[in-house]
């Protein structure tokens, strides 16, 4: 089993979308692929009579053409306000928790065990696991509790792509700053950078790419343009997502959008280099 992980310099950098695209790209290449996100905060789930996970991982599973199971997202947090969340564990409603309790009592015991157990089961059934991080791996106040980024990348032996939203500005600084704040033992896991949501002439960026490689010794593997997509959004930042019905017709529409997304990403990302990273 091989693994690849997409992490971001911030929330909203495009991790979820890039993982979905890579799931479809590598599925098209003949890999048996599954997405994985150990911990996701979202009010929008994919629910069956038996379990509920984040709908983002369900859409990634559609992209990967794999079965949707609780192992794809073993921990889901539904925010309730005032630092409380409703915690779902292995697809089942677990308990309401304050952030302090979650970090102090849950993460390092039940949380990391659930994540690693799910990852182990996926490893046995798929050629390639494409993991998604959460937020940023450089939140230095939370690093010891972070079971969604570098710690899980290390356990999965995953090469990491670090993606940044260039539309918001400050991407070069955020990439360099993120690399500086990641613990040294994890820095070697990062194999490439991706700039997302770009508008304009890519030649303007190339001197910055060269300088970035001089500073970090890590290459830029692609620049993805701003894309208009008709995929359900996650409830983060300025997104205003809507509920969707998981009908055959809607799933077919999502599938068609994933094909378009994969084609755009393939045309703007060094897929050969990424594939060599996971062999």
DSSP for residue 269: B
- Taking only the tens place, the pLDDT of each residue in 159-198 is 999 999 999 999 999 999 999 999 999 999 999 999 999 9
Q: Which of 4-8, 28-32, 130-134, 200-204 has the lowest mean pLDDT?
A: 200-204
pLDDT for the residue numbered 229: 84
For the segment 134-149, the average pLDDT, to the nearest whole number, is 93
Collect all residues with Cβ–Cβ distance below 8 Å to 209 and sequence separation of at least 6. Answer: 219, 220
- Taking only the tens place, the pLDDT of each residue in 5-22 is 999 999 999 999 999 999
- Domain spans of the chain? 2-73+120-277
Cα gap 231→237, rounded to integer Å: 16
Picking from 199, 206, 197, the residue whose alpha carbon sits closest to that of residue 238 is 197
Indicate the average pLDDT of the chain.
Answer: 94
- Taking only the tens place, the pLDDT of each residue in 36-89 is 999 999 999 999 999 999 999 999 999 999 999 999 999 999 999 999 999 999
Burial 166-198, CB ≥16 within 10 A → b, else e: beeeebbebbeebbeebeeebbebbbbbbbbbb
Give percent of the chain with pLDDT exceeding 90. 87
Cα gap 57→132, rounded to integer Å: 9
pLDDT for the residue numbered 266: 97
pLDDT for the residue numbered 91: 97
- Taking only the tens place, the pLDDT of each residue in 193-240 is 999 999 989 999 999 999 999 999 999 999 999 988 888 776 554 556
pLDDT for the residue numbered 230: 81
What is the dotted CATH code of the domain comprising 2-73+120-277? 3.40.50.300
- Is 16 in contact with 8 (CB distance < 8 Å)? no
pLDDT at 3 over 90: yes
pLDDT for the residue numbered 235: 56
Cα gap 135→4, rounded to integer Å: 17
Give percent of the chain with pLDDT exceeding 70. 97
pLDDT for the residue numbered 240: 62
């Amino acid at each position: 089993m091989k693994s690849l992980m997409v992490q971001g310099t911030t929330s909203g950098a495009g991790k979820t979308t890039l993982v979905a695209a890579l799931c479809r790209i590598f599925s098209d290449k003949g890999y048996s692929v599954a997405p994985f996100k150990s911990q996701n905060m979202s009010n929008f789930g994919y629910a069956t009579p038996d379990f509920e996970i984040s709908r983002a991982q369900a859409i990634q599973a559609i992209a990967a053409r794999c079965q949707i199971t609780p192992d794809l997202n073993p921990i889901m947090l539904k925010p309730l306000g005032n630092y409380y969340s409703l915690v779902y564990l292995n697809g089942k409603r677990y308990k309401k928790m304050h952030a302090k309790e979650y970090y102090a009592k849950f993460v390092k015991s039940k949380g990391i065990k659930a994540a690693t157990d799910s990852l182990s089961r996926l490893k046995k059934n798929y050629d390639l696991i494409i993991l998604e991080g959460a937020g940023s791996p450089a939140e230095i106040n939370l690093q010891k509790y972070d079971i969604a980024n570098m710690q899980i990348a290390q356990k999965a032996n995953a090469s990491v792509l670090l993606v940044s939203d260039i539309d918001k500005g400050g991407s070069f600084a955020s990439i360099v700053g993120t690399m500086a704040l990641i613990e040294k033992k994890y820095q070697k896991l990062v194999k490439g950078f991706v700039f997302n949501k770009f508008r304009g002439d890519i030649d303007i960026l190339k001197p910055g790419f060269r300088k970035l490689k001089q500073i970090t010794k890590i290459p830029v593997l692609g620049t993805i343009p701003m894309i208009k997509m008709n995929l359900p959004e996650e409830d983060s930042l300025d997104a205003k997502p809507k509920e969707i019905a998981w009908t055959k017709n809607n799933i077919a529409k999502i599938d068609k959008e994933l094909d378009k997304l994969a084609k755009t990403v393939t045309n703007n990302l060094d897929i050969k280099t990424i594939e060599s990273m996971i062999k």
